[in-house]
Amino acid sequence: MFGKAYEAQCRATKLAPSNAPHENRTLVLFALMLGSFCIGTSEFASMGIIQLYSADLGINIPTATNAVTGYAFGVVLGAPFVTLAAAKLNRRNLLLFLMGLWLVGNVLSSMTSNIGLFTVARFISGMPQGAYFGAGAVVAAYFFGADRAGKAFALVMTGLTVATIFGSPLATFLGQTLGWRNTYLAMAALGALTLLALFLFVPRTEALHGGSVVHELSGLRRWNVWAMIIVAALGISRRCQVNWS
């Protein structure tokens, strides 16, 4: 349902497919998936190492959860704010900015000395999440065409699934063996690799330029957009339940 609704939305906005060679499209998809993996791993990393950073910062577990809440607020507030503020920005440049911001947030997370600064750092790390998936959806649709946009975006989101299965446990393992600060540094290093991949593999093109804020909001008049929102909300809520349990 999500894929069909997304493809219909792409056709409605007349998103023309790219003429890029197949191998270039694969590299674009790889770069986008790598970014999804980074974001997904970072999203749940703090939960697996909460006992480690709470002990190091000299706080109890309930207080330590403020960092997790800070990340969640970054996701909730960052998605609409960044999307609207960067509405006219080229989607390639937006992806680079978002991954750079995510990288900075994780570097800061590894350097903080108290829960207040750590919470702020996690808030910064969460801000790019929603906007990254939105920009990634546009880029994927452009390079694969409206008829295959749903499949392409589903592959991009596979990075989240891999992050849940492998990324989060690996982050916990790194925290337990190398220290919780090195967990965030390792994620930042992977983010730097993703930033390089996006820079190299996503070609510059005027076709990925954004539009006005009014144009961005006009999509809310379409039923298939609301269908995507509902399905995504249900899927994410279920995913959070699984991870918390």
- Alpha-carbon dihedral sign for residues 154, 159, 162, 164: negative
- Alpha-carbon dihedral sign for residues 119, 120, 123, 124: negative
For each of the chain's 245 residues, which pLDDT tens digit applies?
Answer: 434 434 444 443 445 555 554 558 889 999 999 999 999 999 888 888 999 999 999 999 999 999 999 999 999 888 888 888 887 889 999 999 999 999 999 999 999 999 999 999 999 999 999 899 988 988 988 888 777 777 888 888 888 889 989 998 999 999 999 999 999 999 999 999 999 999 999 988 888 877 665 655 566 666 666 666 676 666 655 555 444 44
Q: Which residues does 61 contact at the CB level (< 8 Å), separation at least 6? A: 50, 51, 54
Q: What does pTM read for this prediction?
A: 0.80
* Contact predicate 6/149, CB 8 Å: yes
Q: What is the CATH number of the domain that holds 24?
A: 1.20.1250.20
The count of structural domains within the chain is 1
| Residue ranges making up the domain that contains 177 | 2-244
**Tens digits of residue pLDDT in 189-214:** 999 999 999 999 998 888 887 766 56
Q: How far apart are CA 195 and CA 186, in angstroms?
A: 14
Q: Which of 184, 74, 70 is nearest to 127 (CA)?
A: 74
pLDDT at 217: 58
The phi and psi torsions of 49 (rounded to 5 degrees) equal -120, 20
Task: Specify the amino acid at residue 57.
Answer: L
